[in-house]
Structure formats: structure tokens, C-alpha cells
């Protein structure tokens, strides 16, 4: 059995050396210190002070996030806390003092990019802090030696870790959040955050899952299912709408399993959230595995038909072969998947079903793969994520007999060709649709909107459309999008109940600032104007104190 010291060191490493004085010794030593005033000629100039000091909270930080929307939400929370404590977030990695790298462990290429970014940062003599699923699952990897790590359930302590990294210390926080022995969903949902898109709020409703898929490395990082209470999620949604958000994404490793650990379920949460959604704003559901949505199909159909919920569901099938699904330990058969899709297509006309497929899983035969090809041809999924199998270290699938690399590559290519052989939106040309405009296209030529079925519609880039529900006539369709022409006599509808935050502005501080302004007469000094700066400084001081108290 590990000692208490060992368990502590798993959570926080390399904070102080054994030769450093203890807090008690520091306090005792202070009694013998005689203050000595500095002579004028000894005073340091502003330039010397600035050059010689390493004051945490004054540096510039560049953050890079890989992976799923859950990881992106974690990144938004970390950026918000750092900005609230005084750090400046920058989009330019070259001018940053610290690189915060938020990793994904799903596939080898994502980890390769992560590892290469670490080396690049070190070559440029940047301070490096790592986060996300890779270091959580494999903190002792050679290329992570000496680096500070923020565990996936410790993102509320990002300021502490970055503060210490700035000072040259290596800190590792990898523990789990617990309450009375029960594992919690993660850090608090009311923390400051900087939304990548001020119009879209990403809410993680739970972390972990109930499965043990043989290929999955994420399970090693996120662990078993742990759900947030409904009231906390509803309050987070309410706050988001008060900050001008017009679209909410619910995310987790498996949204369908939500609530099973706390005595509730996904439909119960969704009906509560729907009550909070303003007219014209929309809710998008995240990924759900087939086993946990089967028993809720009736309620899910009703929810997906709601005018403020996108008729969209991401249900990964991974393979159409029951033999392969068994080897993957997916806990369903292909008929279960078909039942989910067929039921929703019948009860939710026009529903979009997105899915994932892994090509070349260990043991997959040509017959197995052909079953998958036939499934795609039959259902013609408009959104299909095709992944060549990569064995992840430490997973059971990595120890199985592998399909030859050239075969995996060929199957991936063949399935991609099938997917690109049909155009899912051609029949929609000529339709009139209501679409919600939330993003800008990658080429910056259009705004990106989505219709009721979460199908992508490109619209003219007019500033008055951003964040609005508009009416368009579809005049062109591509493989992944449609193009819409705004109807001339229609007026854009504003779903936001408040002005959206500016890009880069910290969420979660608005309510506090408004409250303070109401409590104090603006004629009585500069209290309100300085409050956020003071609170940020206090936040930094408190986190430093808590770190030194460990």
C-alpha cells in the first residue's frame, strides 16, 4: 500500500526540495531578522527591477488545444482563469513567455503534434505547461520529464501551476475531485473562461464513461462516469445566455450515460435546459454511444423535435461487424445501432445522424469491413468521421494481432471513396430555411450558419448577420455545406438576451462587476473601476498561498 507521502507526490511533485526550510522554520527565523533600510544609492531603478524580476501574472501565454469539444471547454476555462489573474493570453506563440499545451490522446497523430510542440517550445526557451489527456494518462513519459502538468480534473488550479512554472519549478497536479468519496464531474462550472467563440458556450455535463473499449486511451485519462448536478448545469446555461451566448453545445465522453451515477438521466437534464433557452437560440447535443440512448429513444425524439434543439445526434458505430464490436467491447450489436437510427429518422423527420468508423481494427476481416461499407451505402450518413486504427500504448487493442498497415490504409481510402460518392444536400437546393449565424468560414469569405438539422449553411459575410437567426433560400449544395441567399424582405432576429462578450473577454466576471457597480455610488471614488484588477490580484495571491501551504 502506498504511503501518504507517495500519494501526495502523485498529486504534486518537485515543489520544494528536502533541504528547503519548512514553513515553521521560516516563521521562527523571522523573529531574529533585523530590518535594514536601503541607502538611496542602493535603490534599484525601474529598468533594473523589471529586468531582474519574475513576477507571476505579468507574462504572456500562448495556448494550443487539440481534440474534442470537452477539451476545448477545458482550454476556455484555463484561459479565463489565467486572464483573470493578470496573465495576457496571446495568439502569437513567438511573443509568449509560456506555452500551455492542452493535449488529446485519441490518436497517435494528435500526440505526435503535441510532443513536437513541446520540443519546439523548448528549442525556443519557452516555459512549458502541459494539460489534457496525454499527461493525465501517461505522466511518466520521457518527453514529459521536468514539465509542469495540469490534470484534467485540476484545471481550476491552472494559475498555481503556471505561477510555479514561471518561477522555474515543476508542478504536477493529477488528482481527482471527490466529495465524500464520490468522484465529481471535475472543476466548478462557474469559473472564469474565455470562449473561443463568444456566441457559443460549451458545457461539459459529465466526464468519463461506463465503457471499457479496448482501443480507447481517453478512458485512462478521464476515468469512470462522473456527472455534474442538474442545477449546476442549468445555472451555467443561464449565465451563458446572460452573457450574450446564442448557442450551447453539451459535451462529454458519452452524453447518453449522463446522470446514471447521480440518480438522474439525460432527458431530465435536457427538459430543464430547454426551459432556459431564449427564443431563436439553440442547443446542440454531443456524442452518445448506442447502449445508453436506447432506453430513452421516445423522450429523445421529443427533445430533438423541440424548436430550440438541433435535430442532430452524434452516435459512433465504429464498425458494422458484430465480431469486431465484440473485440472492441462496445457493448452493443449492429442491430442496436440500426434501431437507434431508424427510430430517430422515423420520429424526427430530417434528423442528422453523424457517426464514426474505425478502419483496420485488429482482427477485422474483409467480410467485416464489407459489412461496414454496406452500412454506409445504406444510410448515406451526411457526417462521417473515418479513422484509420492506431494502437494506443497501454490499451488491450495494442496487444492484439494487428491488421497490416497497407491494408488499414487501403480500407480507409475505400470507405472515404464511398462517403464521397454521394451528396447529401443536393435535394435541398431551392428550400427556404431559418439558420442561426455563429461562425466565420475557414477562408474568411462567408459566415457559417446552421439550420434546424445542424447542417452547415454559408451566408454572405455581413456584420448585421452575426449572432442572428436569418431566413435564406438555398441556391447551391456541396458535400459538406449549402449556400444560402438572405430573403430580402426578412429581418434578422436576435436570439441573444444580452450583448455578447468581446472576443477574448473573460466570462464569469460580468455578474460580479454589475453587482459591485450597483452596490457603490460611482461618485464615491474609483472602487468599481479597480475592483476587477484587485480581485485578480487577490486571486493570484490566494492561489500562491494555498500552494505554499501544501
Write out pLDDT tens, residues 370-409: 999 999 999 999 999 999 999 999 999 999 999 999 999 9
What is the pLDDT at residue 14? 37
Bridge partners, 226 (sequence order): 207
- Asked if 455 and 394 sit in the same domain, the reply is no
- Using alpha carbons, list the distances in angstroms from residue 173 to 33, 187, 211, 453: 35, 13, 25, 41
Question: Domain span at residue 272?
Answer: 183-420
Bridge partners, 192 (sequence order): none
- At 175, the pLDDT band (50, 70, 90 cuts) reads confident
- Asked if 159 and 73 sit in the same domain, the reply is yes
Q: What is the average pLDDT across 236-245?
A: 96
Nearest CA to 133 out of 153, 160, 113, 118 is that of 153
Tell which wins on pLDDT, 520 or 440.
Answer: 440
- Asked if 304 and 451 sit in the same domain, the reply is no
Task: Classify residue 38: in a domain, yes or no.
Answer: no
pLDDT at 167 over 90: yes
- Residue 177 CB coordination number (10 Å): 17
pLDDT at 87 over 60: yes
Cα–Cα distance between 235 and 238 in angstroms, integer? Answer: 5
- At 422, the pLDDT band (50, 70, 90 cuts) reads very high
What is the pLDDT at residue 4? 41
Q: How far is CA 388 from the centre of its chain?
A: 23
* Residues 100 and 60: beta-carbon distance below 8 Å: no
CATH number, domain with residue 64: 3.40.50.12160
pLDDT at 76 over 70: yes
Q: What is the average pLDDT across 114-125?
A: 95
- Asked if 278 and 382 sit in the same domain, the reply is yes
Of 398, 420, 442, which marks where a domain is finished?
420
**Could you tell me what percent of the chain has a pLDDT over 70?**
83
Tell which wins on pLDDT, 238 or 530.
Answer: 238
Kindly report the pTM of this predicted structure: 0.81
Cell of 506: 473573460
Of 453, 486, 519, which marks where a domain is finished?
486
| Buried-state track 528-546, b at ≥16 Cβ within 10 A, e below 16 | beebeeebbeebbeebbee
Task: Classify residue 498: in a domain, yes or no.
Answer: no
Phi and psi at residue 545, in whole multiples of 5°?
Answer: -65, -45
Q: Using one digit for the tens of pLDDT, what is the confidence trace for 6-42?
A: 433 334 333 333 444 444 444 444 444 444 444 444 4
Nearest CA to 315 out of 346, 283, 347, 343 is that of 343
- Asked if 200 and 268 sit in the same domain, the reply is yes
Q: Using one digit for the tens of pLDDT, what is the confidence trace for 243-269?
A: 999 999 999 999 999 999 999 999 999
CATH number, domain with residue 433: 2.40.50.140
- Asked if 228 and 368 sit in the same domain, the reply is yes
- Asked if 138 and 82 sit in the same domain, the reply is yes
Of 124, 152, 176, which marks where a domain is finished?
176
Rg over alpha carbons for the chain, rounded to the nearest Å, is 26
The per-residue DSSP string of 288-306 comes to --GGGTGGGHHHHHHHHTS
pLDDT at 98 over 80: yes
- Using alpha carbons, list the distances in angstroms from residue 130 to 80, 103, 351, 353, 517: 17, 7, 39, 34, 38
Q: Which of 152-156, 318-322, 493-497 tops mean pLDDT?
A: 318-322
- Asked if 233 and 368 sit in the same domain, the reply is yes
pLDDT at 519 over 70: no
Task: Classify residue 40: in a domain, yes or no.
Answer: no
- Asked if 306 and 372 sit in the same domain, the reply is yes
pLDDT at 546 over 70: no
- Asked if 298 and 404 sit in the same domain, the reply is yes
Cell of 466: 452575426
Tell the residue number behind the cell numbers 464513461, with chain if given. 209
- Asked if 155 and 89 sit in the same domain, the reply is yes
* Residues 449 and 400: beta-carbon distance below 8 Å: no
Task: Classify residue 91: in a domain, yes or no.
Answer: yes
* Residues 370 and 114: beta-carbon distance below 8 Å: no
Least confident of 116-125, 432-441, 532-541: 532-541
Q: What is the average pLDDT across 340-355?
A: 98
The structural domain count of the chain equals 3
CATH number, domain with residue 267: 3.80.30.20
- At 467, the pLDDT band (50, 70, 90 cuts) reads very high
- Asked if 167 and 190 sit in the same domain, the reply is no
- Residue 307 CB coordination number (10 Å): 12
Bridge partners, 447 (sequence order): 440, 459
Amino acid at each position: 500500500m502506498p504511503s501518504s507521502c507517495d500519494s501526495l507526490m502523485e498529486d504534486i511533485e518537485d515543489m520544494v526540495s528536502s533541504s528547503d526550510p519548512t514553513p515553521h522554520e521560516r516563521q521562527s527565523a523571522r523573529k531574529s531578522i533585523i530590518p535594514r533600510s536601503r541607502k538611496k544609492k542602493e535603490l534599484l531603478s525601474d529598468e533594473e527591477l523589471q529586468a531582474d524580476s519574475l513576477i507571476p501574472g505579468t507574462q504572456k501565454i500562448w495556448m494550443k488545444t487539440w481534440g474534442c469539444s470537452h477539451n476545448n471547454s477545458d482550454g476556455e476555462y484555463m484561459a479565463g482563469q489565467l486572464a483573470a489573474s493578470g496573465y495576457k493570453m496571446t495568439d502569437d506563440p513567438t511573443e509568449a513567455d509560456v506555452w500551455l499545451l492542452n493535449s488529446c490522446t485519441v490518436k497517435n497523430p494528435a500526440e505526435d503534434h503535441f510532443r513536437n510542440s513541446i520540443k519546439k517550445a523548448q528549442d525556443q526557451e519557452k516555459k512549458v505547461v502541459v494539460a489534457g489527456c496525454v499527461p493525465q494518462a501517461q505522466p511518466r513519459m520521457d518527453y514529459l520529464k521536468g514539465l509542469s502538468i495540469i490534470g484534467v480534473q485540476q484545471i481550476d488550479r491552472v494559475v498555481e501551476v503556471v505561477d510555479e512554472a514561471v518561477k522555474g519549478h515543476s508542478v504536477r497536479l493529477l488528482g481527482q475531485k471527490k466529495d465524500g468519496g464520490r468522484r465529481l464531474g471535475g472543476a466548478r462550472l462557474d469559473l472564469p473562461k474565455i470562449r473561443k467563440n463568444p456566441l457559443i458556450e460549451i458545457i461539459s455535463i459529465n466526464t468519463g464513461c461506463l465503457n471499457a473499449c479496448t482501443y480507447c486511451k481517453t478512458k485512462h485519462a478521464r476515468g469512470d462516469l462522473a456527472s455534474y448536478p442538474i442545477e449546476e448545469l442549468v445555472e451555467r446555461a443561464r449565465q451563458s445566455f446572460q452573457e450574450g451566448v446564442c448557442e450551447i453545445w453539451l459535451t462529454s465522453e458519452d452524453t447518453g450515460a449522463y446522470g446514471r451515477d447521480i440518480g438522474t438521466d439525460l432527458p431530465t437534464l435536457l427538459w430543464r435546459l430547454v426551459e432556459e433557452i431564449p427564443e431563436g437560440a439553440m442547443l446542440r447535443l454531443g456524442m452518445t454511444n448506442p447502449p445508453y440512448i436506447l432506453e430513452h429513444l421516445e423522450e429523445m425524439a421529443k427533445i430533438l423535435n423541440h424548436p430550440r434543439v438541433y435535430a442532430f445526434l452524434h452516435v459512433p458505430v465504429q464498425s458494422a461487424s458484430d465480431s469486431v464490436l465484440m473485440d472492441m467491447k462496445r457493448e452493443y450489436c449492429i442491430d442496436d445501432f440500426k434501431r437507434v437510427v431508424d427510430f430517430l429518422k422515423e420520429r424526427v423527420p430530417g434528423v442528422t445522424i453523424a457517426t464514426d468508423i474505425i478502419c483496420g481494427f485488429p482482427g477485422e476481416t474483409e467480410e467485416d469491413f464489407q459489412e461496414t461499407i454496406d452500412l454506409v451505402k445504406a444510410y448515406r450518413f451526411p457526417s462521417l468521421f473515418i479513422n484509420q486504427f492506431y494502437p494506443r500504448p497501454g490499451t488491450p487493442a495494442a496487444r492484439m494481432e494487428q491488421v497490416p498497415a497497407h491494408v488499414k490504409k487501403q480500407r480507409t481510402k475505400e470507405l472515404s471513396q464511398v462517403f464521397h460518392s454521394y451528396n447529401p444536400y443536393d435535394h435541398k437546393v431551392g428550400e427556404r430555411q431559418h439558420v442561426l449565424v455563429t461562425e466565420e468560414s475557414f477562408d474568411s469569405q462567408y459566415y457559417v450558419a446552421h439550420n434546424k438539422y445542424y447542417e452547415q449553411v454559408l451566408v454572405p459575410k455581413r456584420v448585421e448577420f452575426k449572432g442572428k437567426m436569418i431566413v435564406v433560400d438555398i441556391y447551391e449544395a456541396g458535400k459538406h455545406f449549402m449556400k444560402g441567399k438572405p430573403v430580402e424582405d426578412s429581418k434578422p432576429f436576435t436570439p441573444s438576451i444580452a450583448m455578447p462578450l468581446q472576443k477574448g473577454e473573460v466570462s464569469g466576471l460580468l455578474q460580479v462587476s454589475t453587482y459591485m457597480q450597483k452596490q457603490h455610488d460611482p461618485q464615491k471614488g474609483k472602487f468599481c473601476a479597480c475592483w476587477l484588477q484587485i480581485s485578480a490580484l487577490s486571486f493570484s495571491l490566494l492561489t500562491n498561498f494555498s500552494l505554499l501551504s501544501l
